[in-house]
Chains A and B, each alone.
Chain A
Amino acid sequence: MNIEHLYRQIIMDHYKYPKNKGLILDPSYMTVHLKNPSCGDDMTVQLKVVDDKIVDARHQGTGCSICCSSASVMTQTLKDQEVEHALSIIHEFYEMIKGLPYNPDILKGDAIVYQNVSQFPARIKCATLAWKAFEQGLNKIKEDNQNG
């Protein structure tokens, strides 16, 4: 696996032309901020859930191309999904990134280009930062709902 190949797939669309980038000042959004202190990646994600469905997903941050592009891909992948299904997608994404078998019926679309990251273990943290932040947000919303 050549790293240029990995970068070509990912950078083109999402690093230079990110989707759903920029935060929204709206208290109905859940905001989660995560950092990768060793390399300085800094990512904020926002999610808005209405009736158990993710109606909007945003991201804003600084970091390497893998981190930033992955945030863009993530918002595209999870928007319009139901909360539980989104959590399953995130789980499958982690499995794939670790080079483990994943369910292609659950994890689909641009996100699968990151499967090659498993061959660059030093970059797994970059590729998953935004996903971890989003997962935290979803779990918080779930918790809040359960607590009424």
Chain B
Amino acid sequence: MIDLKDIKKDFPIYQHEPNLIYLDSAASALKPKVVIDRVNQYYETSGVNVHRGTYQLAYEATEAYEKAREKVASFISAQPDEIIFTRGTTSALNMVAQFYRNKLKPDDEIITSELEHHSSLLPWMANAKATQAKLVYIPLTKEGRITVENFKSVLTPKTKVVAINYISNVMGYKSPVEDIIKIAHEKGITVILDAAQAVPHMKVDVKSLDVDFLAFSGHKMLGPSGIGVLYGKKQLLNDLEPVEYGGEMVDEVFKDHAEFSDAPIKFEAGTPIISGAIGLAQAVEYMEHIGYDTIHQHTMKLHDYTMNELKKINHLVIYNEGADISTLTFNIEGVHPHDVSSYLDQDNICIRAGHHCAQLVSRFLEVPSTLRVSFHIYNTIDDCKKLIESLKKASDFFQMF
């Protein structure tokens, strides 16, 4: 296990903001210098387009871009031609929903859950509306979890698609995706996973999962913003129509028809996010250097310490004591989350307040919104101590009124 004592030195933000207590990594992780440098290097030494040019610089840019695809593919045990670079998880999940819009018929059923981030829910809600298919919600347990039993309870011969989260962005629960995928496939149902919260914290292996589509973002896993990944099984991708049309995604164009390139190029119309893909590959390399075991052990140590201390604070309610990753969701009773987060902001503590783009979770918890603390590799016990101290002050202060 690598020593994390000086880990903050890898993240230049701490030189600019030495007192920063950043506890919102589930929204966006901080960027290590190696990633920033790699992105800059592309712009400083190249900056040209991929695939099109016949000159040396273009060849090198294409090499770097396609090597990034290979890196990301091996990171999740996929083949390079199963990796589509997108703008992020949102555009990846929207793309899958677009693929299936013409394939859904009235009364077909789409299984989803109240735990979904809006990007995993709304594209399917739109599909349901457009095709008169039906959105079906997996009943959550009292704790707020998806279970295999509850999944089976909504499975019917009309089920066509299952679109759920791998790990909930608010509750930090891991969905039992292995069993769900197996059961769905026995009935020929397609499974799409939102893995935006999974990839930053755990090894994701699309081959052993046997998942059909899986999406994640660069910026939550120490990579640049504006880049994400859609994994799709090769045979599925080859059968699907492009969602966007334009340059480079086409082989031959005639006046009345066109023949498209093979996946993944078919799904990357226009100039791709070259710097983002290259930066993402660097983030993968950095994550691999740290290692998931280290990430998990470190963040769970911070989680356990913080949860223990949170429980000692008056009027504080924790909503996800059994989380599988380090995300902590809570409220101070009688105090609006926004008031708490502003109070903490005074002490340079960044936490999330709101409904975290997952309004159905707030509705499930029967609260207007919540506070969320999330960790990554650069956080320390000292960060947690400062959080607790500030939360205690905030609780005492607001209880005065």
- Please list the residues of chain A having a beta carbon within 8 angstroms of any beta carbon in chain B: 2-4, 7, 11-12, 15-16, 38-42, 62-67, 120, 122-123, 126
Contacts and interface: CB of A to CB of B under 8 A. Distances in A.
- Which 10 residue pairs of A and B lie closest in terms of their CB atoms, listed nearest first? A64-B338, A64-B336, A40-B369, A39-B354, A40-B368, A64-B339, A3-B346, A65-B339, A39-B338, A11-B401
A39 B356 CA distance: 8
A40 B355 contact: yes
Contacts of B337: 39, 64
Contacts of A120: 342, 345
B117 to A, nearest CB: 14
Contacts of B345: 3, 120, 122
23 contacts: A2-B346, A3-B342, A3-B343, A3-B346, A4-B343, A4-B397, A7-B397, A15-B401, A39-B353, A39-B354, A40-B355, A41-B338, A62-B368, A63-B368, A64-B337, A64-B338, A64-B342, A66-B339, A120-B342, A120-B345, A122-B342, A122-B345, A126-B338
**Interface residue range, chain B:** 10 to 19
A39 B338 CA distance: 7
A62 B362 CA distance: 14
A4 B338 CA distance: 14
Interface in B334-390: 336-339, 342-343, 345-346, 353-355, 359, 362, 368-369
A15 B401 CA distance: 9
Interface of B: 336-339, 342-343, 345-346, 353-355, 359, 362, 368-369, 397-398, 401
Given A39-B337, A65-B339, A66-B339, 14 more contacts: A2-B346, A3-B343, A4-B397, A11-B401, A39-B338, A39-B354, A39-B355, A40-B362, A62-B368, A63-B368, A64-B336, A64-B337, A64-B339, A64-B342
A126 B355 CA distance: 15
A38 B337 CA distance: 12
A135 B339 CA distance: 25
Contacts of A40: 354-355, 359, 362, 368-369
B369 A39 contact: yes
A103 B232 CA distance: 60
Contacts of B362: 40
Contacts of B398: 7
Contacts of B368: 40, 42, 62-63
A65 to B, nearest CB: 5
Contacts of A66: 338-339
B338 A12 contact: no
A122 B354 CA distance: 13
Residue picked from B337, B338, B342, B355, most chain A C-beta under 10 Å: B338
B366 to A, nearest CB: 13
Nearest to B359: A40
A63 B367 CA distance: 11
Contacts of B397: 4, 7
A29 to B, nearest CB: 25
B66 to A, nearest CB: 38
B371 to A, nearest CB: 11
A12 B401 contact: yes
B342 to A, nearest CB: 6
A67 B369 CA distance: 14
